[in-house]
């Protein structure tokens, strides 16, 4: 990933995380557990932990409020497709569209360098800032 793309992704993740602090309920954020975090799981990804399953309508509502962009999953890579989720994607389409946070936590680099832990700690209120590596 180019440095420019990496910085853009980090900016989008910070924006989405800041908005989650505004729009997610405290009880949703408190459900986050870094030790359970699994970007491949519909129940243990960021939104799955907060809302029981990442296909819940509440997740789509949060992404619409919190993420300024979404990415379309194309095989093993993610490509920016539009600036907003237009309306609520049907449950069967939910796997195809990922928020910046979802793309970010899927990255092996972020899984290994402490960025995912930092993100979860920030969302839980255990950190005041996000300063990604």
Tell me the mean pLDDT per 10 residues along the chain, length 133.
Answer: 90 97 98 96 96 92 90 56 44 74 93 97 97 94
Nearest residue to 103 via CA among 45, 59, 64: 45
Q: Which residues fall within 8 angstroms of residue 49, CB to CB, at 6 or more apart?
A: 31, 32, 33, 36, 37, 43
Domain-by-domain residue ranges, the chain? Answer: 3-123
Task: Provide the pLDDT for residue 88.
Answer: 44
* DSSP codes joined into one string, 95-120: GGEE-HHHHHHH-HHHHHSSHHHHHH
SS3 56: coil
């Amino acid at each position: 990933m180019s440095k420019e793309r990496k910085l853009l992704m980090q900016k989008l993740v910070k924006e989405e995380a800041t908005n989650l602090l505004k729009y997610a309920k405290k009880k949703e954020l408190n459900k986050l557990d870094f030790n359970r975090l699994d970007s491949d799981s519909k129940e243990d990804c960021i939104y799955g932990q907060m809302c029981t399953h990442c296909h819940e309508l509440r997740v789509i509502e949060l992404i619409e409020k919190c993420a300024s962009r979404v990415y379309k999953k194309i095989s093993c890579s993610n490509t920016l497709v539009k600036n907003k989720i237009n309306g609520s994607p049907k449950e069967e389409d939910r796997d195809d569209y990922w928020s910046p946070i979802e793309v970010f936590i899927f990255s092996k680099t972020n899984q290994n360098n402490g960025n995912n832990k930092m993100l979860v700690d920030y969302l839980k209120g255990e950190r005041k800032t996000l300063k990604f590596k």
